[in-house]
Structure 1
Amino acid sequence: MTASPPRYSRILGTGSYLPPKRLTNADLAAQLAADGIETSDEWIIERTGIRARHFADEGVTASDLALPAARAALEAAGMTAEQIDLIIVATSTPDMIFPSTATLLQHKLGVHGCAAFDVQAVCSGFVYALTVADSMIKSGAASKALVIGSEVFSRILDFKDRTTCVLFGDGAGAVVLGASKEPGILAADLHADGRHANILCTPGTVAGGKVIGDPLLKMDGQAVFKLAVGVLEKVARAVLDKAGRSEADIDWLIPHQANIRIMQGTAKKLKMPLDKLIVTVDEHGNTSAASIPLALDVAVRSGKVRRGDTVMLEGVGGGFTWGAVLLDF
């Protein structure tokens, strides 16, 4: 018998969406000042590189943000929602406890029947979801997947804590991943370490009709920074080793958009010029699982990332989770 040719997956299209409400640092500082919390544009930029972020209006959910991002990715891929046979949504701010945000998005897309589920790995969520979709396509379990990161982090922020509430924003990013005879996703590497759960978490839950614990985000910024810089370099090198590539082969680095100092530090450790680092954190803030696909779509639509480019995606987030994907776009 003739062996079947290898089956790979490639990104066929990208899309993104930001809610219309844009808050500059000055806007947010004025809002906080009304509650006696002091901060400033200079203080935020110096520590994070963030200048603005987008917040969803009341009642707008993660699936609402995911819908236009998904439609944009489908249009870019030249496909309809009916052709998708797998939907994965990475989110830490789902519409409800269940069903999954992915199934709610599926309904809003007007399709039914295909597999749909959520992945929860916080800011690493999109890298995790993309890796799962790639594995399912390679195995033959799916042929065309819609992979989305969508977050409404503004709902879980403590606006009495200026060290965290200035960091995050809302948005969604999406890709269509399809089966291919040529490699697209070259390698992936995922990790987690629950020993560090307490340094970045939202420790509340719902039981008996009540919120149990604290439903607002908590973060030890210094501990997260220290851990993130170390693991991002290691996971990037692990993916390069798996793919048989070197740092010199990377055309673009698209890290999780959390903090400009972490991002630039990772680029320098990989000996990459900073002009090969895709940066959207200045305008989007930290959109958690949405940040990587948002940045990828911005880079593609601006003409920076082009077909044939080699791209490194990497994320780190609460859990503690981290991972990277190397792909030929």
Structure 2
Amino acid sequence: MAHKTINNVSIKAISAALPTHSMGQNEFANLYGLKEAARVARGTGIKAIRTADGLSTQALIVAAVTQLIDNIDISLSDIDALVVVTQTPDSWTPGTAFAVHSELGLNEGCYVTTINDGCAGYVNGLVQATSLISSGVYKNVLLCTGDINTRLVDDSDYQVRMLFGDAASATLIGEGEDSVSYISGTDGGGKDLLGVKVSYGKTEENSARVKTLQMDGAAVMSFALKRVPEVVGNLLKGKGLSKEQIDLFVLHQPNEFILKYLVNLLEVEPTKVPIDVNGIGNTNSSSIPLLLARRYKVEGTKNNIILCGFGVGLAWNAMHVNLSDTRFIAPVEISAVA
């Protein structure tokens, strides 16, 4: 797979939103027993997750956008395109992006689209957003991610219930002198290994039933350990860069065990692969921007950053970006209104 490049863009700012409510070892022990809760925590490195009890996907995304806009020199009237990535829409149609557009009061001429994408969704969303800018048609694109994963999981399936958390993010992309280079891949044959199915059947009130999240943990891990080093290596080769030249490898955050394994396979310094999943959980397409907003260190040169998403699909990607001039804004925490 050859890498592709999108020119004349700039990632201006990144922020995020988290629900204030969390579930930790005490709650999980009460549900599943102390022994099982401790075993899953040891195996994944996730001892607590954030849960959006009473919040909508729309509310989390709007909070992330508001946090971003309030901290940079731009107004909502300047936004001329909105891209929303989610797999937990609040309504089946017309899509979460339309609800976000309405609540934010964006212009009627603003281009609006919703992308149904998962763990690789942030990088795929960046491809969409930067393409809109590079086309010369749009000047300021808001890329938003948001998922309430906890409402899709089977509460009795503790190995899944203790992994996934809820969050949203907002990224502003505009015109600039930077470029993004990326490689992406898909194996649709693995679609049943991680995902949520829909069962259609009409009743008086419903036309379909959304099933719970199903995951073949061993198969997904095997996929990640194969594809991540492969796609990162191919991107670096295509860019003519060595691992030593990369300032930071920002990977999707499924769990600590997989991430530490990937550090060894990538053969890079652990300090270059930040891990920020404990206390939050796997937040799907929001994990990469959330990590950047929470833990990114501004000091030093950050010209060479690799972003890498992998999961639902099965899909994987890697993108080289320059974040040296990007504003990183701490996430806002919100709770449901009683």
Question: What TM-score do you get using the length of structure 1 for normalisation?
Answer: 0.89
Letter in 1 for 2:318: A
Residue identity opposite 2:315 in structure 1: T
Question: 1:308: Cα distance to partner?
Answer: 3.6
Deviation at 1:124, TM superposition (A): 0.9
**Given that residues 7 and 180 in structure 2 are in contact (C-alpha distance below 8 angstroms), is that contact kept between their aligned partners in structure 1?**
no
CA contact (8 A) 2:248 2:302 kept: no
1:77 Cα deviation after fit: 3.6
What does residue 193 of structure 1 align with? Answer: 187
Unaligned runs of 5+ in 2: 1-5, 324-338
CA distance in 2, matches of 1:205, 1:66: 27
Per-residue CA distance 1:258-296 (angstroms, 9 max, x = gap):
021221222233322111212211121001111111111
Query: Match for 1:153: what amino acid?
Result: N
TM-aligned CA deviation for residue 131 of structure 1: 1.1
Pairwise mapping of residues 159-308 of structure 1 onto structure 2 (< 5 A)?
Answer: 159-180=155-176, 182-183=177-178, 185-208=179-202, 209-210=205-206, 212=208, 215-300=211-296, 303-304=297-298, 308=302
Could you tell me which of 63, 66, 71 is aligned with 1:68? 63
1:92 counterpart residue number: 87
User: Does the Cα contact within 8 Å between 1:204 and 1:216 map onto a contact in 2?
Assistant: no
Q: State the Cα RMSD in Å.
A: 2.0
The number of aligned residues is 315
Q: Structure 2 CA distance, aligned partners of 1:304 and 1:233?
A: 26
Matched residue, 1:317 = 311
Shift in Å, 1:29? 2.5
Provide the residue aligned with 2:336 in structure 1: none
1:56 and 2:52 are equivalent in the alignment: yes
- Distance across 2 between alignment mates of 1:205 and 1:141: 40
**Structure 1, unaligned stretches of length 5 or more?**
1-5
Shift of residue 305 of structure 1? 6.8
- Deviation, structure 1 residue 307: 6.4
Q: Is the 8 A contact 1:253 1:267 kept in 2?
A: no
Contact 1:70–1:174 (Cα < 8 Å) also in 2: yes
Is the CA contact 2:201–2:209 (under 8 Å) kept in the aligned structure 1? Answer: no
Amino acid aligned to 1:88:
V
1:39 aligns with 2:33: no
CA distance in 2, matches of 1:211, 1:197: 23
Pick aligned residue for 2:115 from 116, 119, 128: 119
Change (3 A) 1:264 1:14: same
Which runs of 4 or more aligned residues in structure 1 lie more than 6 Å from their structure 2 counterparts after TM superposition? none
| 8 Å Cα contact 1:148/1:293 also seen in 2 | no
CA distance in 1, matches of 2:320, 2:227: 16
Query: In the superposition, relative to structure 1, how do residues 225 and 74 fare at CA in structure 2: closer, same or farther (>3 Å)?
Result: same
CA positional deviation for 1:144:
1.2
> In the alignment, is the contact (CA less than 8 A) between 2:140 and 2:174 conserved in 1?
yes
Q: Match of 1:57, as an amino acid?
A: D
- Which of the pair is proportionally richer in helix? 1
Deviation at 1:73, TM superposition (A): 2.3
Residue type of the alignment partner of 1:39:
E
Distance in 2 (alpha carbons) for counterparts of 1:244 and 1:85: 35
Q: Do the aligned residues in 2 keep the contact of 1:9 with 1:138 (CA within 8 Å)?
A: yes
| Aligned pairs (5 A) from 1:87-166 | 87-112=82-107, 113-166=109-162
The aligned residue for residue 320 of structure 2 is: 326
Q: Compare relative contact order (CA 8 Å, sep 6+) and give the higher one, 1 or 2.
A: 2
Match for residue 3 of structure 1?
none
SS of the equivalent of 1:226 reads helix
